[in-house]
Amino acid sequence: MLVLRLLNVVAPAYFLCISLVTFVLQIFLFIPSMFRDPSTTPLLSPALLHGALFFFLSANALGNYVLVIQSSPEDLGKGLNLGKRAEAVADWLDGSRSPGSALPSTHFCRLCARVTQRHDHHCFFTGNCIGSRNMRNFIMFCLYTSLACLDSLVAGMAYISAALSMSFANPLAFLTLLPHSISQFFSGALLSSEMFVILMLYLWLGIGLACAGFCCHQMLLILRGQTRYQLRKGMVVRAQPWRENLQEVFGKRWLLGLLIPVLNVGSDCHRQKEK
């Protein structure tokens, strides 16, 4: 438990450090060195267009990240007829709660010390549980993080291609880039800044693939009206059309949340809370 609590603090700091390093590399290294075309107008310059795209992706990723953290698990102890707080927590921990004492799909998290409605999982990179209040923001965070990593990966490969005069036309060139770079770095033929960018390329690739895979898996569960917690516990879910399952998570005004980071707008959970 101590290791999990430590990971719950270190993982968000690690993600924020990676985001800061990515931002600095994009703004101060990739964009100034790659986009130098004086024949284009300033409003249509590749540097401005690429910078606007990167700002859009990173702003949505960080914005939804903040909303996931701020949308804490709901404290359902008062509204679920659970009795005293300490006794309720004990019931959740040992699994001795009565069938009518809680809403379906609720779960007590030992790290958050709270009960989450429609619990999915505990995310260590946000230090928070993912449930009905922040599921849509979490999916948008994964989506835009994967896109920002892909954008940084392409920009970083273009920079390395120009700096080292190499081509990535052969797919094996990227796979053999790291071992060749390590040997050149220790022999003194490669600068430390270039070696750092190469290491970041593989980090962006790993984070991007992980976030994209997690986002796709989460979308499949949402279409089925199921959470990871329900899947892991083998719980039976209520069958309903996939459109209704999507609307419960993304709401009717889903396009607004796709373009800018906002809280759950128009979802059933949000409307019930307002009532």
In this prediction, residue 154 carries a pLDDT of 92
Residues 96 and 188 in one domain: no
Q: Which two structure tokens, joined as six digits, stand for 22? A: 């990515």
What residue numbers bound the domain in which 107 lies?
74-118
pLDDT tens track for 39-59: 555 555 777 888 899 999 999
In this prediction, residue 104 carries a pLDDT of 57
Q: Which two structure tokens, joined as six digits, stand for 93? A: 């921990």
Q: Is residue 236 part of a domain?
A: yes
Q: Is residue 17 part of a domain?
A: yes
Q: Is residue 63 part of a domain?
A: yes
Q: Which of 17, 109, 112, 123 is catalytic?
A: 123
The reported pTM is 0.83
CA gap 98, 252 in Å, rounded: 35
In this prediction, residue 230 carries a pLDDT of 87
Least confident of 89-103, 134-148, 258-272: 89-103
Tally of domains within the chain: 2
Residues 151 and 256 in one domain: yes
Q: Which residues pair with 109 in a beta bridge?
A: 114
Mean pLDDT score of the chain: 81
- Average pLDDT in the 235-255 region? 84
Residues 10 and 85 in one domain: no
In this prediction, residue 189 carries a pLDDT of 86
Q: Any catalytic annotation for residue 211? A: no
In this prediction, residue 272 carries a pLDDT of 44
Residue with tokens 């709401």: 251
Residues 108 and 195 in one domain: no
Residues 112 and 54 in one domain: no
In this prediction, residue 164 carries a pLDDT of 87
Q: Which two structure tokens, joined as six digits, stand for 80? A: 């679920």
- The model's confidence at residue 216, banded by pLDDT at 50, 70 and 90, is very high
Least confident of 115-124, 214-223, 248-257: 248-257
Residues 22 and 149 in one domain: yes
Sign of CA dihedral 209, 215, 220, 226: positive
In this prediction, residue 39 carries a pLDDT of 56
In this prediction, residue 43 carries a pLDDT of 53
Q: Is residue 30 part of a domain?
A: yes
Nearest to 107 by CA among 153, 76, 79: 76
Residues 168 and 80 in one domain: no
Task: Please state, in angstroms and as integers, the Cα–Cα distance from residue 95 to each residue in 47, 57, 101, 227, following that order.
Answer: 57, 42, 11, 19
Indicate if the pLDDT at residue 22 is higher than 90.
Answer: yes
Residues 96 and 173 in one domain: no
Q: Is residue 130 part of a domain?
A: no
| More confident position, 266 or 174 | 174
| Domain boundary pick from 64, 91, 118 | 118
| Domain boundary pick from 84, 118, 152 | 118
Q: Is residue 245 part of a domain?
A: yes
Q: Is residue 108 part of a domain?
A: yes
The pairing of strands 121-123 and 128-130 is antiparallel
pLDDT tens track for 53-110: 999 999 999 999 999 988 766 544 444 444 444 444 444 444 444 444 445 567 888 8
Residues 55 and 175 in one domain: yes
Q: Is residue 128 part of a domain?
A: no
pLDDT tens track for 160-203: 998 888 888 887 889 899 999 999 899 888 899 999 999 999 99
- The model's confidence at residue 145, banded by pLDDT at 50, 70 and 90, is very high
